[in-house]
Chains A and B, each alone.
Chain A
């Protein structure tokens, strides 16, 4: 216990007496964490944007006016069997007519033409949503069979196919580039941090050798550096949380305009705070401890 308290005392003495070096180490760690959080936020935003676009895509099946409820329900039951399908909305003939009238209430000619016909010319409509845009093709193909040809008048999916494919490609590309950038950045950060800590330890090479010569054991020498690593981790993560919080508070009102459903990056970070910063704290701790252990290995051979 006495030794631990002394190691703690030496660690904080070193931190204070090498204030500029300690400050620089924390500063670089904060820069690295800010970059990681920026990439993370971009990833979250991209996913949100893609989700928002995906939600706006659906496939509409237009039935012929003669289609009966039995026909429609049979196809609905068939479509529901697909695990890719997440939602089906049915509009009866009357609903479709009402919707048409509402949409064209200012176009007298259209309403007159409708009245001229006498009977409701519309068939029921089924609006299907799937998990992924690529799943629509499967549903369309499943409905593209001779027995449904006389019941289904049209399918609106064809109009979206290109857009969906393009979106899928963009999403995949963004994910690949984002991953590559993250890996590259992590590597650069590791090298920067490793060298910063190595420089810090090299400047204290003489001190380490003196400690050895007066009979300090390895843990007495390593201990303060380990405590310093923990301190660097806590200080950098706390600073990063503060800066990220301020940045999100500033950016959220702008995001609210762009993204629907009131998505808030601040709320996202709040609800995932433990995981997000826990992972970052662990990574930084591993980085600093490994760096100091590697840098010290040579100095301890006195």
Chain B
């Protein structure tokens, strides 16, 4: 599903972000990527959604080498990978429904399809009753669940969650993680980038540990080591 081969990224400032990454993530996997700040986790996420290009190596997603992707194809890649960020990245002047619908609208989906899909994903994240609320009217957990609902609308095979619980309390964290687990049960690959020791240890899934831009361990049924 996702294959990184000898991937290195050095920023224009000369700072190496990741070095010689080799990683294979299979379809339906739930992988936690852990590591201290500045170890290259976010750079890895950015490379997966083609926000950054590696200086060396290749990244294949479903057999598609995205290191050679044209800028005009990037929107199509991003519609196939659901992304969830720590700061939710919701459009502040659109309602929950509109935020989710927007991801379908930009893909040219027809109105009746949007009316069909949006309530479904709202149901999955238990936010049907908040459809007409604006982001500022929601709690952090509700905002994050909105972001997860938005990431689901294209029925992506992969969801990348970059510190999705970073701004949440323990109850909301649990809720968000249980939603991700539920999505994973439907067969979607989940890549969870997190600092949260409890979450990782509780999950008991595959854990990839990064340090100074390199992968230092990759364990199935792993634990938070750092």
> Taking beta carbons and an 8 Å cutoff, which residues of A are in contact with B?
2-3, 6, 13-14, 17-18, 206-207, 209-217, 220, 302
Q: Which of B72, B79, B89 has the most CB of A within 10 A?
A: B89
Interchain nearest-CB distance for A222 vs B (Å): 12
Asked if A210 and B89 make an inter-chain contact with CB atoms under 8 angstroms apart, the answer reads: yes
Query: Does B118 make an interface contact (CB < 8 A)?
Result: no
Q: Give Cα A210–Cα B99 distance, bound, in whole angstroms.
A: 10
- Mostly helix, strand, loop or mixed at chain A's interface? helix
Asked if B106 and A214 make an inter-chain contact with CB atoms under 8 angstroms apart, the answer reads: yes
Q: Give residues of chain B (67-119) contacting chain A, Cβ–Cβ below 8 Å.
A: 72, 75-79, 83, 89-93, 102-103, 105-108, 110
Query: Does B53 make an interface contact (CB < 8 A)?
Result: no
Interchain nearest-CB distance for B164 vs A (Å): 14
**Given known A216-B75, A217-B72, contact A211–B106 (CB-CB < 8 A):** yes
- Chain A residues near B51: list those with CB within 8 A: 213, 302
Q: Give Cα A210–Cα B76 distance, bound, in whole angstroms.
A: 15
Q: Give residues of chain B (180-199) contacting chain A, Cβ–Cβ below 8 Å.
A: none
Q: How large is the interface on B (under 10, 10 to 19, 20 to 34, 35 or more residues)?
A: 20 to 34
**Given known A17-B93, A207-B91, contact A214–B78 (CB-CB < 8 A):** yes
8 residue pairs of the A-B complex, CB under 8 angstroms, read A3-B108, A6-B105, A207-B91, A209-B89, A211-B91, A214-B79, A214-B103, A215-B107
Q: Give Cα A220–Cα B93 distance, bound, in whole angstroms.
A: 17
Find B76's partner among A206, A215, A220 (CB 8 Å cutoff): A215
- Chain B residues near A209: list those with CB within 8 A: 89
**Given known A2-B110, A211-B106, contact A217–B91 (CB-CB < 8 A):** no
Asked if B91 and A213 make an inter-chain contact with CB atoms under 8 angstroms apart, the answer reads: no
Query: Does B215 make an interface contact (CB < 8 A)?
Result: no
- Chain B residues near A213: list those with CB within 8 A: 49, 51, 78, 83, 89
Q: Give residues of chain B (99-148) contacting chain A, Cβ–Cβ below 8 Å.
A: 102-103, 105-108, 110
Interchain nearest-CB distance for A64 vs B (Å): 89
Q: Give Cα A14–Cα B78 distance, bound, in whole angstroms.
A: 24
- Chain B residues near A14: list those with CB within 8 A: 93
- Chain A residues near B102: list those with CB within 8 A: 211, 214
Closest-by-CB residue of B relative to A3 is B108
Closest-by-CB residue of B relative to A2 is B108
- Chain A residues near B75: list those with CB within 8 A: 212, 215-217
Asked if B79 and A215 make an inter-chain contact with CB atoms under 8 angstroms apart, the answer reads: yes
Query: Does B9 make an interface contact (CB < 8 A)?
Result: no
Find A210's partner among B77, B79, B90, B105 (CB 8 Å cutoff): B90
- Chain B residues near A210: list those with CB within 8 A: 89-91
Query: Does B206 make an interface contact (CB < 8 A)?
Result: no
Known: A210-B91, A213-B83, A213-B89. 4 other contacts (CB 8 A): A210-B90, A214-B78, A214-B79, A216-B106
Query: Does B150 make an interface contact (CB < 8 A)?
Result: yes
Interchain nearest-CB distance for A202 vs B (Å): 15
Asked if B103 and A215 make an inter-chain contact with CB atoms under 8 angstroms apart, the answer reads: yes
Interchain nearest-CB distance for A59 vs B (Å): 72
Asked if A217 and B106 make an inter-chain contact with CB atoms under 8 angstroms apart, the answer reads: yes
Interchain nearest-CB distance for B172 vs A (Å): 21
Q: Give residues of chain B (19-53) contacting chain A, Cβ–Cβ below 8 Å.
A: 49, 51
- Chain B residues near A18: list those with CB within 8 A: 93
Closest-by-CB residue of B relative to A14 is B93
Q: Give Cα A210–Cα B135 distance, bound, in whole angstroms.
A: 14
The 7 closest A-B pairs by CB, nearest first: A215-B79, A216-B106, A215-B78, A214-B103, A217-B75, A215-B75, A17-B93
- Chain A residues near B154: list those with CB within 8 A: 215
Q: Give Cα A18–Cα B79 distance, bound, in whole angstroms.
A: 28
Q: Which of B76, B102, B103, B106 has the most CB of A within 10 A?
A: B106
Interchain nearest-CB distance for A143 vs B (Å): 77
Interchain nearest-CB distance for A115 vs B (Å): 96
Q: Give Cα A14–Cα B93 distance, bound, in whole angstroms.
A: 8
Q: Give Cα A282–Cα B83 distance, bound, in whole angstroms.
A: 42
- Chain A residues near B83: list those with CB within 8 A: 213
Interchain nearest-CB distance for B77 vs A (Å): 8
